[in-house]
Amino acid sequence: MARHIFSLNPMFSLNPLFLRNRVLALSPAPAALAVLSLLALLLVVPVTRAQASAFTPEAHCADVASLVSRAGGAILETAPETFHRVVKDNSFCDPDGVARPAYAPTQDNPACFVGYKCSDYPVR
């Protein structure tokens, strides 16, 4: 009874060895810390949604223009391994960006107006 002068309950003993073991028991395992870090990262990273896309040489002009208009923006493949981001209007560009007319080859029109491409430099 003399060794627990400061506490009647041995669970709250002031024994340094007991306190050290108690702190170690409360600290998270490295694996749990890694999982919590990953979850925190996933909450911070914004989720991007998939953009509409089309291979323009196989589509009709009206269909491609309609796709861009409906979705607000689309990734258009104008030739194998050649991609362009086309938007509906200037509101889909960066705040300091400029929308320029975009044309793409389609099944029925070699220079179909499909929307706009965003540019970082001003129109001259």
Q: How far is CA 61 from CA 43, 57, 67, 92, 108, in A?
A: 40, 9, 10, 21, 6
Q: pLDDT digits over 78-118, tens only? A: 888 888 899 999 888 888 888 999 999 999 999 999 999 99
DSSP H or E segment with residue 41 = helix 30-44
- Longest Cα–Cα distance in the chain: 98
The amino acid at 31: A
Residue 54, Cβ neighbours under 10 Å: how many?
20
Query: What does pTM read for this prediction?
Result: 0.56
Q: pLDDT digits over 4-22, tens only? A: 444 455 555 555 555 555 5
Of the CA atoms within 13 Å of residue 105, those in its CB half-sphere come to 9
